[in-house]
Each structure stands twice: as C-alpha cells, then as structure tokens.
Amino acid sequence: MSLTNALPVDAAKAAKSASHTLATLPTSARNDALTAIHVALSQSKEEILAANARDLTAATKAAEDGKLSLSIVSRLDLGKKGKWEDMLKGILDVRELEDPVTLRTRLDEGLDLERVSCPIGVLLIIFEARPEVIANIASLAIKSGNAAILKGGKESTESFVAISRVISAALEATVVPNTAIQLVTTRDVIPQLLALDQYIDLVIPRGSNELVRYIKSSTKIPVLGHADGICSIYLEHTADPEMAVRVIVDSKTSYPAACNSVETLLVETASLETLLPPVAEALLAKGVSLRCDASSKKALTAKLSLHSSVILQDADESDFDTEHLSLTLAIKTVSTVTEAISHINIHGSHHTDAIITSSSPLAEQFMSSVDSAGVFWNTSTRMADGMRFGFGTEVGISTNKIHARGPVGLEGLMIYKYKIRGGGQITAEYGEGSGQRSFKHEKLLF
C-alpha cells in the first residue's frame, strides 16, 4: 500500500498495471499478504489509536462549532468497544474465504465449461470518517485480486495515514505490488478521479447521502453503494412482547449512526395499546426521542407515565423520509401489513427492513413484497452486516439492482469469467442434422 500525492491519472495508471499482476497471483500469495497486514496492524495498535485520538479531538471540536455532524464523529472512533478487534478479525475471516467456482457443466465428452470468479479490476473507494475502511478494503481487494485507490475525508487524515503506513510496510515483505493499494493524499482530486473511466472500473462511496449522490451524478464509472439507510420495522399485533422490545431497542440504540439502524417504526393499529407502550418505555429509557403520529401519540399518552408522555414529540411527514443517524425514531400507525409494505417501498431506501410477528404467512408476504436488499423476520436490522453474514468484512452495503446487493464482501467485488477445456471440437459438429452431435449440458460437481 502506498501513500501517494501523484496526479490522479498517474495513480490510476499504476493501479491498472498492479491489478494485472495481482489478478495472476495464487491464492496462497494473497493470503500471505493478509496475514502480514494482520500482524503489522496488531503490533501497531497503540500508534494507530493515538493517531485516531488526534482525529477525534479535532472532529469533536468541529462538531462543537457546528462544522461536523455528531454521526461522523461517532463513525470516526476506532477505539469504540469492539471496533478495533472487529477490524482485525475481518482480515483473518477474509483470508479464510474460498475463491468461488460458481458453475461447472459438461457440454460434451471432452468439452467442459467452467464459470469462475475473477477481479473487477481497479476500485476507487471514497470515504468519510470510518478509518477501519482502509483495512477492510485492503484485505478484500487483495483477496479478490482487485487494485484499489482510496481517498479519505480530511476528518480521518491522521488515522488513515497511520494505518496506510503500517499496511505499506507489511506489503513490502510480500509479492503484492505496493501500488495495488494506494491512498491518495492530494486534496480536491475527487472530480479528476471520477473522470478516469478508462482506468477505474468501479467506484464505492462510503459516507453521507450527499457524498453518494454527488458521486453518482458526477461519473460514468459504475457506482456501488447506497445514498440513505432509512430502515423500518413493522410491529404486528401477534409479535412476542419481550422479543419486540429486544429487537427494536437493539435496532435503534446499538449504533444509532450506522446505516442499518432503524429510523421508522410502523405499528399496526391493533398493537398500539399492547405492544407499543413497553417498546416506547424501553426506548425512552435509552434516551431515544420518539416522534409520533397522532394515533401512536394518543395511545402512548394514555398508557405511559406523565413524565414519559410529556417528552413525546409530534412527527411531521418529513420524519418518515429522514435518516436520523441519532437516537431519534419516527413512529407511524398502519392498519395492515399491506399498508406497511407500501409505506416502506415508497418512503424507505431499499436498504434493510424487518417485521416482528408470530405469523409465518405474514412474515413471508412481507419479505417477498418489500423491495429492499435485506428483509428480516424477528431480528434486528443491525444484522445487515458483512461480518455477521459470514462475508469476513464488507466494503459497504449496496441497494443497487445489480449482482452485488446488500452487504458487499468478496463475491460482490468479483465478476465472472467462462473457461472451456476442449479437444478440438468445433460448432459445425453440433446440430439436428444427420451425423451431428448434441450437447449434453450435464451439471458437474464443483
């Protein structure tokens, strides 16, 4: 991995060249590189967290001055409980993933077709905060055989420079070209990078919806990602009360700034006086601000204590189209699962949505009808995560309707190549005529 202040076109050319080398390396060589990165980062924890602390100090001051959002400050903290450990574990998990072979077919005797995964080429990752992205991307890119150019936000400069130097030193002892993973330090180069479609094959933005929308509107290069994480949970009247509390509280409070945190709670009318009050009490106890429509506020005011009911807020329509990224939850009443599905498909962001119910038919209807990358039954929206899915780690979550949707791990960074191994066969041999051969199309084991 190299820190570079080269011209964007030079960095992209170097990445393209390195991608050709990286794609031909055996799996063992790529795995050795991931081991080296893991060891080096483990040994440099103190140095990296010290750099991250400097970023946090500056970001906290910027937030106090109104120049930076608190959600970005939260995402920046690499010392948050479990975050460092998850980053390191993700590298090892990626190392252990198998290179996928997705199809093998015997076309005829001595003529076998195989579909294998191969790298996309050169990835451009543009991110805000989230210093762990560097380790995530480096490990997934190397494992998948892709080169990557990373451009981080200024709020995480100290962190990503420290991490990149450690990774660069680790790669020096491997056969992976250092230019395969480049961190661009030059300022104001994003427009130039986005114009280099002859060298860069895929852009992956990690950051605010403003960043993602800007990138999608500013490049001819395919963009993989999502602009918003407006996730909803539908609370149906047959749900187990204790389960409802556990799932909804976790979905909102375990990491409010995450894109898979729930932002809207859709409550069936029949649940207003039974299931909603204990859920609301638990959320209020965690410091969550509840923005309620008229029906849910009326039901809660009648059931909650005066102290709790007076802090309920009135929701307006914009609350149901907002990714709050904080301890704020909008509550809306719906009469049926069909109405809940309609609301989600119109107002949601096609990221992750869930239903809490004991009815299997309703759950299956919900999961089939909601047009989102993740649709869950009786579990937290926070489960939408590459590590939790067993992908090792992820480069982000895609809501695109392409091959990579949901948490994007190793498979999402690869495309297909078809190989045929034959013995001189030609197309003229095959057909319906006399003496011609027929294709067998027999499925083979991987």
pLDDT digits (tens), the chain, 446 positions: 677 778 899 999 999 999 999 999 999 999 999 999 999 999 999 999 999 999 999 999 999 999 888 888 888 999 988 899 999 999 999 999 987 767 899 999 999 999 988 999 999 999 888 898 899 889 999 999 999 999 988 888 999 999 999 999 999 999 999 999 999 877 789 999 999 999 999 999 987 778 888 999 999 999 997 768 999 999 999 999 999 999 999 999 999 989 999 999 999 999 999 999 999 999 999 999 999 999 999 999 999 999 999 999 999 999 999 999 999 999 999 999 999 999 999 999 999 999 999 999 999 999 999 999 999 999 999 999 988 998 878 888 888 877 788 888 898 899 989 999 999 999 999 998 899 999 999 999 87
Q: Which of the following CATH numbers is that of domain 231-389: 3.50.7.10, 3.40.309.10, 3.30.70.890, 3.40.470.10?
A: 3.40.309.10
Q: What's the CA gap between 319 and 68, in Å, rounded?
A: 21
For residue 91, the SS3 value is helix
Range list for CATH 3.40.605.10 in the chain: 2-224+397-415
Range list for CATH 3.40.309.10 in the chain: 231-389
Q: Which of the following CATH numbers is that of domain 2-224+397-415: 3.40.50.620, 3.40.605.10, 3.40.50.2300, 1.10.1740.10?
A: 3.40.605.10
Tokens describing residue 70: 């608190």
Please give the pLDDT value at position 396. 83
Contacts of 428 (CB under 8 A, 6+ apart): none
Please give the pLDDT value at position 101. 65
Residue 243 CB-density burial (10 A; 0-12 exposed, 13-18 middle, 19+ buried):
middle
CA 148 to chain centre: 17
What would the DSSP string read from start to end of 328-365? EEEEEEESSHHHHHHHHHHHS-SSEEEEE-S-HHHHHH
Contacts of 90 (CB under 8 A, 6+ apart): 135, 136, 139, 386, 387, 392, 393
